[in-house]
Amino acid sequence: MSVFLEAVTLAATGLAAYHHAVYPALLRAIARRENGTAEASRRDFLSTTADSDLPTVTVLVPAYNEEKTIAQKIANVLSLDYPADRLELRVVCDGCTDETYAEASRAVEFDEQALDRVTIVNCLENRGKTAVLNEQIARCDTDLVALTDTSSILAVDALLLAAQHFADWRVGVVSGTYLLMEPGSAGEAAYWRFQTALKAAEARIGGLIGAHGAFYVIRRSSFRPIPADTINDDFVIPMCIAADGLRTVYDPNVLTYELDGTSLAVDRQRRKRIGAGNMQQAIRLVGLLHPRHGGLAFAFFSSKFLRAFMPLILVLAWLGSLALAPTSPVFAVLAAGQSAGYLLAGLVHVAPGLPWGRVGRAVHYLVQAHVANGIGALDYLRNPKRGPWRRIAT
């Protein structure tokens, strides 16, 4: 029994260390040997003969109770540096119970040019984001579809830079850098800096591992409907396209700004939902682990697949170390280190106002993220069915 417990504990500790430290370091080392993303040509709002070579694009904005931000979002999309005759905007109000539809309509009613380019769909029933995406992407007749959230603001050249990658017929998805204007905490800010660097490195070795729902672009012909109960659609859609053999591109010059600040409570709720989605996609997209996917399989296993099971792995590593500590100096050190980390996270949580420093707040954010991830994963395993989306109040 002792040998088995030691093996399980060492395996769990090794996987945790690999996921959090070894893999990011290895990824950076590999990525340094690869060429960076080439900068796309710029249009700078000046119409040229080359405009006719740009693909046609539908910007699709699913909205549920977004009355405060929908007008701003419409104005942002219509101000992008992209030929007006090749850009359409489709806003889909998914059974909203507030004034989202009225605000969206008012935003374009006195602008004749906008009326020609904007379609506002008012669905009386709240069916959920996945149903909206499956239905509305099928109705688009443009070359590309750009998916974006109402709370995000796109840089003026974001669509232009993203669209130019599709001149390569092998490209199926393009995403870029997600920037928080007002991070809810220092830990959240550090987490997103880390994730941005990781995503850029992953893209260089095997392709983009998922996208961020704030903004990404797909080749319309490469889209296939996803299951109605999909949780993390911004991961599943790109990965299904990648599984069909098309490239997924990360361009750090494509910038999206998230304007909504988030409290720790809101971030925990979001992490629970993402945790449920992580478990769902680990089960449903297990085929991406096949060696034929090369670097994509390596990155998927090391990042998203392990993340789904990481709360369980961490618990096994900690409890196993505690059980073995009395008889082994090695496990005693492991148990002490893990216990200290969890104790620090607990103290920061209980007394957030004290000067804990960057390390303390980063440890706290990481631990509470794994807790929320674990709760979400258990919720999904207990009840895989989910209803339509519900906006998390900020």
Task: Report which of 311, 361, 303 is spatially closest to residue 22, judged by C-alpha positions.
Answer: 303
At 28 the pLDDT is 78
Find residue 173's DSSP bridge partners. 218, 248
Task: State the Cα–Cα distance between residues 313 and 194, nearest whole angstrom.
Answer: 21
**Tokens found for residue 379:** 């919720």
Which distant-in-sequence residues (6+ apart) come within 8 Å of 139 by Cβ?
A: none
At 255 the pLDDT is 93
Place of tokens 């050190």: 333
**Rg of the chain (C-alpha set):** 22
At 105 the pLDDT is 94
At 390 the pLDDT is 55
At 26 the pLDDT is 87
Q: Note whether 18 and 106 are within 8 A (CB).
A: no
**Tokens found for residue 33:** 């040997």
Q: Which amino acid is at 62?
A: P
Task: Report which of 109, 108, 97, 90 is spatially closest to residue 67, judged by C-alpha positions.
Answer: 97
Low-confidence ranges of the chain (pLDDT < 70): 1, 31, 33-42, 182-188, 260-267, 386-394
- 10 Å Cβ neighbour count for 278? 26
Q: How many CA atoms lie within 13 A of 188 on its CB side?
A: 18
At 39 the pLDDT is 55
Q: Note whether 256 and 181 are within 8 A (CB).
A: no
Task: State the Cα–Cα distance between residues 258 and 19, nearest whole angstrom.
Answer: 27
Place of tokens 């109000």: 93
Place of tokens 């700078």: 44
**Tokens found for residue 318:** 């900690």
DSSP 130: H
E runs forming strands in 138-198 = 144-148, 152-154, 171-180
Q: Note whether 238 and 212 are within 8 A (CB).
A: no
- Pairing, β 152-154 against β 247-258: antiparallel
**Tokens found for residue 186:** 């220092």
**Reduced DSSP (H G I as helix, E B as strand, rest coil) percent helix, strand, coil of the chain, to 5:** 55, 15, 30
Do you know the residue count of the chain?
394
Pure H helices in the chain: 2-17, 23-31, 70-78, 100-108, 112-117, 129-139, 158-164, 186-205, 233-243, 264-284, 295-300, 306-324, 329-350, 357-382
Q: Which amino acid is at 125?
A: E
The domains found in the chain, sorted by start residue, are 49-261 (3.90.550.10)
- 10 Å Cβ neighbour count for 26? 15
Q: Note whether 256 and 176 are within 8 A (CB).
A: yes
DSSP 38: P
Task: State the Cα–Cα distance between residues 290 and 296, nearest whole angstrom.
Answer: 9
